[in-house]
Structure 1
């Protein structure tokens, strides 16, 4: 077991009683959104606030994502909110800047989830259930006034998670409180024909890609599973079966699971979990307050956390321990993928 030590802490000059919702990387620094609806930049070493990109990013900000492509020089931050808007921010614009791009969903439905693929200039948002409709909407940011596509029948409750496949960017994952995780081919216009796979797991808190061939699902009651991405053209992959861990709380000795993290340097995927009464590996953490956000920065070998105490905190393994453990186990437990699965039929929920 490796214990990370707190190296810095900052309230980012937030109003008293504010929560940190999410953390993302920006060029040479980091960004956070919080319950005062602001988008703020901070230094990754000292955690001192650098700029307030927007004091009011949304009326009810909900999501923050990086917008940086591997084949482009574009580096924006994407936010979404309960006002039904998606906004892209140029972090070089300084204090109290205006969004570079804005897109909106129909009926101003509150947006709960967001994902970006800068290489294809794509942004996708998922909404709450409004008037019996939960929407997955995708835009090309070069034409923000008109949606590239919209799915309105695949989920019948709030869309809580969206993610693009790590290499096949035409494949999109969505998760919902209706219990389903869906995979789509966004190059197919018809919604029914676009659906590639459905996993029935339970009310989705988080879901995403663990690798090119596996996805995970984490429910609001902390139930966790790993599923193969089915391929009807491959007999070998059709031999694989899902791995169902059940409730992670007794397995990890925790009270709640924050999120699943994938390392940018290819070292694997990690689970971040927490306790309000006692703490494992991040001594003191955010005290009695819940951890809302965790971000791993591979370059500086730092874990950033944000919590309901309104603080951003930075954590690192002592240099002496890093020398002994170059793999740098960053969070509570590492998720291991099984190499063999059993046959699952296309479109059939598990």
Structure 2
């Protein structure tokens, strides 16, 4: 097991009792001074410095009425690096993190303003896709071309019969879209096909989907809300094999990973990690998912984040390969940076970070632990 060191911590001046939902980069990886964004339960979209975690700009004090999703839109002639958000108000918005207007540059809306729970972006095709809650017996996967945001380009309204909780584009074949739902299904679509009856490439039955995504060009994973995990081969219609390989069923991973909950999967150029938390032991572990000889967890190369967010649940994890930093956000309302000992930072940077970390942990312990009880609040767990 390897250990990462907490080098900085910040509340970003968030209101007391605020949860952090998601973290994303807000500048290109080639930029030396990296900046990052987060969404939180006060419905704000904020930027922070990737080195010190000092708060920067508030892109929007209220980006949605009930924000639920944050994704990077790594520009392609749209004016640079953008941030995509979605919310329970039925809107998808694209934000320029350099702007000080607190107004979205582009807005798209689903029909009847159904609450949106999931979001994905493909800048190469100018495509945004959003997944909605089940409302009036219908859950929708809607796609837009951002060059014509006023009209939905295509939508799937019969493929799921419950909340759409996950969306992701294939890593190389961008016409292939994955969706996951609390109806237990993970669907793969060919978005080049307009007819919904013909667009489905594969349907996987797993259980109420918390997260799902691509592990490689030919494998997908599924994680349910009860922490059941599985890996499935992508079917090949041109294969001459009489039977497709069977899925790998891991069952409830909490005993084998010694965790209490799973946060999310983290895709990197080196592979995928599953982030799993334990509030009793006050830690977060990153488990590599390896393909050889068969798909499974590499228990010898686990990365541990000791103390994590204490007894509070970690809701967001972001792994920045360029700076070799893991960022975490939790129900304690803090953002934290984790790096391996010996990373390229000055002694003053480390001392400043440790002083801030100690101060913030003391503040966190003194905070009111009372959780919000609002039924309309977004709860991914």
- TM-score under structure 2 normalisation? 0.81
Partner SS, residue 319 of structure 1: coil
**1:126-137 to 2 correspondences below 5 Å:** 126-137=131-142
Q: Is the 8 A contact 1:20 1:310 kept in 2?
A: yes
Q: Give the match for residue 240 of structure 2.
A: 235
Structure 1 residues 87 and 237: CA distance shift in structure 2, 3 A: farther
- 2:84, 2:92 within 8 Å by CA — same for their partners in 1? yes
Residue 303 of structure 1: aligned partner: 326
Which of 168, 171, 178 pairs up with 1:166?
171
Please show how residues 1-350 of structure 1 align to structure 2 within 5 Å. Answer: 1-27=1-27, 28-69=34-75, 74-94=80-100, 96-235=101-240, 238-263=243-268, 266-280=269-283, 281-319=304-342
| Distance in structure 1 (CA, Å) of the matches to 2:73 and 2:42 | 23
Distance 1:191 1:114 in 2: 19
CA distance in 2, matches of 1:167, 1:237: 26
Structure 1, unaligned runs of 5 or more: 321-350
* C-alpha separation in 2, matches of 1:316 and 1:238: 45
**How many Å separate the matches in 1 of 2:104 and 2:244?**
48
Contact 1:305 1:313 in 2 (8 A): yes
Q: Offset at 1:123?
A: 0.3
Q: Which residue of 2 aligns with 1:344?
A: none
The two structures, once aligned, show a CA RMSD in angstroms of 1.5
Work out the CA distance in 1 between the residues paired with 2:194 and 2:107. Answer: 24
1:275, distance to aligned residue in structure 2 (A): 0.9
Q: Deviations over 1:160-189 (max 9, x none)?
A: 000000111100000000000000001111
Alignment coverage as a number of residue pairs: 318
Alignment gaps of 5+ in structure 2 = 28-33, 284-303, 344-381
Provide the TM-score with structure 1 as the length reference.
0.88
Q: Deviations over 1:180-225 (max 9, x none)?
A: 0000001111101000000000000000001111000000000000
> CA deviation digits over 1:221-273, x for unaligned, max 9?
0000000110110235954221111111001000000001111xx21100000
Matches of 1:270 and 1:299, distance apart in 2 = 17
**Matched residue, 1:338:** none
Report what 1:345 is aligned to: none
Give the whole-Å Cα distance in 2 for the aligned partners of 1:235 and 1:50. 56
Measured in 2, the distance between the counterparts of 1:79 and 1:107 equals 18
Query: CA shift at 1:146, angstroms?
Result: 0.5
Assess if the C-alpha contact under 8 Å between 1:205 and 1:220 holds in 2.
yes
Tell me the SS of whatever aligns to 1:42. strand
The separation in 1 between residues aligned to 2:127 and 2:48, in whole angstroms, is 26
Question: In 2, are the aligned partners of 1:230 and 1:238 still within 8 Å (CA)?
Answer: no
1:232–1:238: 8 Å Cα contact kept in structure 2?
no
Give the SS at the match of 2:2: coil
Rounded Cα–Cα distance in structure 1 between residues aligned with 2:80 and 2:218: 28
1:37: Cα distance to partner? Answer: 0.2
**Aligned with 2:275: secondary structure?**
strand
